[in-house]
Structure 1
Amino acid sequence: MESAIPRHLQCPRTLQRRVDDGYTPPFPAWTARPSRPGQTIVMALLGVQACGAHAERDACAGLRQIVAGLHAHGAPLHCDVAHQVDECGYVTMIAITYWRDVAAYDAWAGRPDIDAWWRAPARLTDGVGWFREVLAPAEQRYETLFSAPDRLEAGGAALGRLSQEIMEHGYWGSMRDRLPLSQTDPLSASGALTIIDGAPGPGARVRVAGHANLAVIRSGQDWSDTAGEERRLYCDNIAPVLRAGMDFLRDAGTSVGCYANRYMQQRDVAGRPVEKTFGLSYWHSLTELERWAESHATHVAIFGTFMQVVQELNFALRLRLYHEVAVLTSGQQRYEYVNCHARSGILNGLPRES
C-alpha cells in the first residue's frame, strides 16, 4: 500500500491528515499516476445546448461538429461524450476532452480552422448555444480515485498509469488528503466569479473568470458489468437516490456553495446511451463540497443507500466508481459561452444582478 500523493510531491506536513499512519482502509482503491513527474492535464468541456421541438436533433448535430474538429491534428488524449437535460430544459451535449498540457490544448484550439469557426458571427445565429469550459490544474491540485484497477476513466485514462493500492480513502476528508498541495495549504477559496467581457444570455458572447481555489469534481458510475441482484439493487435502490442528490445540486446547489451541477449519461461514438453516468459540479470551495458530502441529507442518503447495498452483497461488487477533483487557481480556469442561456454552466454561479 502506498500514499495517493506521488513520492516526488511528498513533503513534511504542516496540515495533518484526518487519519493517522496506522489507518487501514476498509476496501481497496487506486489513483491515477502521471507518466512523468510534473505532468499536468487539461480538461476541456466543449459543449452545445438546444431547446425546442428539435432540441435533441440540433444538439446532436452540434456535437458532431465539435467532435469532427477533434480529429484534426493535435487531437486530445481521451474524450468522453455525454448528454443531459439541464435545469432550464435545454438538451446539452458535451465532449469532455483531456489534453497532456495547456500548450497542447491551445495548439489545437488555436488552429485557424477551429478558431475561425468558434469566433464566427454565425455561432450567435445558428440556433444553438455553444460553450467551452477549460480547466488546467497543476499536478499538486488534482487527484483521482478508482474502485477497480483494470479500467481507467476520465482524466485517469489520459494519464494512463495506476498506483498500487492507496491508503487515503474510505473516510471523510480523504478527498482533501489525496491532494498534494493539502499537505501545506488549506486551499481556502477567495474572490468571486466575474465577467471578463460580454453578457450572459442568448445572442451574446460572455467570458467569465474563476476565482482562487474554486473546486471541481467529476464523480462517475459504471454499472455495465453488473448482473442479477447487484444490477437490480443499483438500478432500483442506488440510482434513484443518486439522481435526487444530483437534481438537488442542479436546481438548488447555490444554497450549499455549488455553482453548477450536471448529471450526465455517457454515449458511445454512435450517440447511443451507455451504462455510465457521472456528476460534474463546480464549487465555491473544497470545504463546501466536503460539507455537502459529509452532512447534507441528499448525500447522506446516497452514501447510506450505497453502504446498505455493499453490505448486502458482502462487498462483492462489479459496480465501478471513480472520481477526479481539481482545486484551481484563477489562472487555471477559462469559461466562455456563446448564445447560451444565462444559467448555463458556471454562469449559474454569477450574482443574479449580473
Structure 2
Amino acid sequence: MESAIDKHLMCPRSRNRRIEDDYTPPYPGWVGRADGAVEQVVMGYFGVQSKGEHYLGAACAALRKIMQGFGLVDGPGHHDITHYVDAAGYDNMIAIAYWDSPGSFQRWQSSEQIAQQWNAIESGSDGLGYFREILTPGVERFETFYAMPNDLEGVGVVMGSRSDEIQEHGYWGSMRDRIPLSQTDPMSPRGQLEANSDARRKVIKGHENLVVIRSGQDWSETEGTERDLYLNQMEPALRAGMEFLRDDGLPAGCYSNRYMQHLDASGQRLEKTFSVSHWRSLAHLERWSESHPTHVEIFGTFMKIVQQLGGELKWKGYHEVSVLRAEDQHYEYINCHAGTGLMQRG
C-alpha cells in the first residue's frame, strides 16, 4: 500500500493527515499517476446551450464542430461527450477535454482554425448559447480517486497510469489528504467571483482556492440485484442530492452543480453519469459531504448496498478534485441564460 501523494510531490508536513500511519482502509482504492515531467493539466468544458427540439439539431451540429477541432495538432489527449438539462429547461451539450500540457492547449486554442471558430461564435446569432470553462490546476493542486481496479476516467486518462492501492481513503477528510498542497497549506478561499460582461458575452474571474469536483459513476456492468439496487435506491438518492446542490446549494458553499449524462459518439446515452460542481472552498465541500442530510443519505445508501452485496460490486465510481488559483480559471459565456454555470453567482 502506498500514499496517494506521488513521491516527487511529497514534502515535510506542517499540517497533519486525519489518519494515523497504521490506518488500513476498509476497501481498495487507487489514484491516477502522471509522469514526473507533468507540472500542470488543463480541463476544458466546451458547452453549447439550446432550448426546445427546434434548436437541438443545431446544437448537436455545433458540438460536433467543436469536437472536430479536438483532432487538430495539439488537441486534447482525451475528451468526454455529455448532456445536461439545467433547472431552466435548457439542453447543455458539453465536451469535456483534457490536456497534460498547458503549452499544447495554448497552441491549440490560439491556432487559426480554433480562433476563427470562437470568433464566429461571438459574432453569430444562431439562437444558441456557448460557453467555455477552462481550469489549469498544477499537479500539487488536484487529486483523483478510483474505486475500481482497472479503468481510468477524466483527467486520469491523460495522466496515463495509476497507483497501487493507496492508504488515504475511506474516511472523512481523505479528499484533502490526497491533495499534495494539503501537506503545508490550508487552502482557504480568498476573494470573490468577479464578472465582466457586455450584452452577449460574460466573463467570470474565479477567486483563490475555488474548488471544482467531478464525481462519477458507471453502472454499465451491473446486473441482477446490484443493478436493481443502484437504479432504485442509489440513483434516486444521488439525484436528490445533486438537485439540492443545483437549486439550494449556495448557503452550503456550492456555486453551481450539473448532474450530467455520458453520450457515445452517435449521441446515445451511456450508463454513466457524473456531477460537476463549483465550491467556495474545500472546507465547504467537506462540511456538506460529512454532515448535510442529502449527502449523508447518498453515503448511507451506498454503504447499505455494499454490505448487502458483501463488498462485491461491478459498479464503478471515481472523482477528481481541483483547488484552483484565481489565475488558473477562465469562465466565458456567450448568449447563455443568466442561470448558466457561474453566471448566476458572478
Aligned letter for 2:12?
P
TM-score normalised to the size of structure 1?
0.95
CA spacing shift, 1:92–1:121, aligned 2, 3 Å = closer
Distance 2:140 2:298 in 1: 29
Aligned-residue Cα RMSD (Å) equals 1.2
Report the 3-state secondary structure (helix = DSSP H, G, I; strand = E; otherwise coil) of the residue aligned with 2:249. Answer: helix
Report the 3-state secondary structure (helix = DSSP H, G, I; strand = E; otherwise coil) of the residue aligned with 2:29. Answer: coil
Structure-to-structure mapping, 1:157-176, within 5 angstroms: 157-176=157-176
- 2:215 is matched with which residue: 193, 200, 219? 219
CA spacing shift, 1:309–1:121, aligned 2, 3 Å = closer
Distance 1:62 1:90 in 2: 15
Identify the residue that residue 71 of structure 1 maps to in structure 2: 71
Identify the residue that residue 42 of structure 2 maps to in structure 1: 42
Report the 3-state secondary structure (helix = DSSP H, G, I; strand = E; otherwise coil) of the residue aligned with 1:217. Answer: strand
CA contact (8 A) 1:124 1:204 kept: no
Instruction: Report Cα offsets for 1:288-320 as digits up to 9, x if no partner.
Output: 000000000110000000000000000000100
Asked if 1:342 is matched to 2:338, the reply is: yes
Structure-to-structure mapping, 1:141-160, within 5 angstroms: 141-160=141-160
CA contact (8 A) 2:49 2:130 kept: yes
Distance 1:337 1:131 in 2: 4
Structure 1 position 61, deviation (Å): 2.0
TM-score normalised to the size of structure 2?
0.97
Structure-to-structure mapping, 1:211-290, within 5 angstroms: 211-290=207-286
Identify the residue that residue 307 of structure 2 maps to in structure 1: 311
Report the 3-state secondary structure (helix = DSSP H, G, I; strand = E; otherwise coil) of the residue aligned with 2:267. Answer: coil
Distance 1:114 1:269 in 2: 21
Distance 2:297 2:276 in 1: 19
Structure 1 position 63, deviation (Å): 1.1
Identify the residue that residue 113 of structure 1 maps to in structure 2: 113
Structure 1 position 75, deviation (Å): 1.8
Runs of 4+ displaced beyond 4 Å: 121-124
CA spacing shift, 1:230–1:135, aligned 2, 3 Å = same
Distance 2:53 2:67 in 1: 24
Distance 1:23 1:40 in 2: 30
Distance 2:41 2:224 in 1: 38
Identify the residue that residue 24 of structure 1 maps to in structure 2: 24
Task: Work out the percentage of aligned pairs sharing the same amino acid.
Answer: 51
Instruction: Report Cα offsets for 1:209-250 as digits up to 9, x if no partner.
Output: 100000000000001111111111001110011011011111
Identify the residue that residue 193 of structure 1 maps to in structure 2: 193
CA spacing shift, 1:121–1:176, aligned 2, 3 Å = closer
Identify the residue that residue 90 of structure 1 maps to in structure 2: 90
Distance 2:323 2:251 in 1: 20
CA contact (8 A) 1:262 1:280 kept: yes
Structure 1 position 87, deviation (Å): 1.3
Q: Which runs of 5 or more residues in structure 2 are unaligned? A: none
CA contact (8 A) 1:55 1:90 kept: no
Aligned letter for 1:169?
H
Distance 2:227 2:39 in 1: 38
Distance 1:129 1:343 in 2: 12
Aligned length: 346
Identify the residue that residue 297 of structure 2 maps to in structure 1: 301
CA contact (8 A) 2:55 2:127 kept: no
Deviates more, 1:4-13 or 1:210-219: 4-13
Aligned letter for 1:331?
E
Structure 1 position 123, deviation (Å): 4.7
CA contact (8 A) 1:83 1:264 kept: yes
CA contact (8 A) 1:46 1:96 kept: yes
CA spacing shift, 1:123–1:242, aligned 2, 3 Å = farther
Deviates more, 1:171-180 or 1:64-73: 64-73
Distance 1:121 1:281 in 2: 26
Aligned letter for 2:162?
L
CA contact (8 A) 1:219 1:324 kept: yes
CA contact (8 A) 1:8 1:37 kept: no
Report the 3-state secondary structure (helix = DSSP H, G, I; strand = E; otherwise coil) of the residue aligned with 2:321. Answer: strand
Structure 1 position 37, deviation (Å): 4.1
Asked if 1:322 is matched to 2:318, the reply is: yes
Aligned letter for 2:266?
A
Distance 1:123 1:324 in 2: 35
Identify the residue that residue 101 of structure 1 maps to in structure 2: 101
Report the 3-state secondary structure (helix = DSSP H, G, I; strand = E; otherwise coil) of the residue aligned with 1:120. Answer: helix
Report the 3-state secondary structure (helix = DSSP H, G, I; strand = E; otherwise coil) of the residue aligned with 2:237. Answer: helix
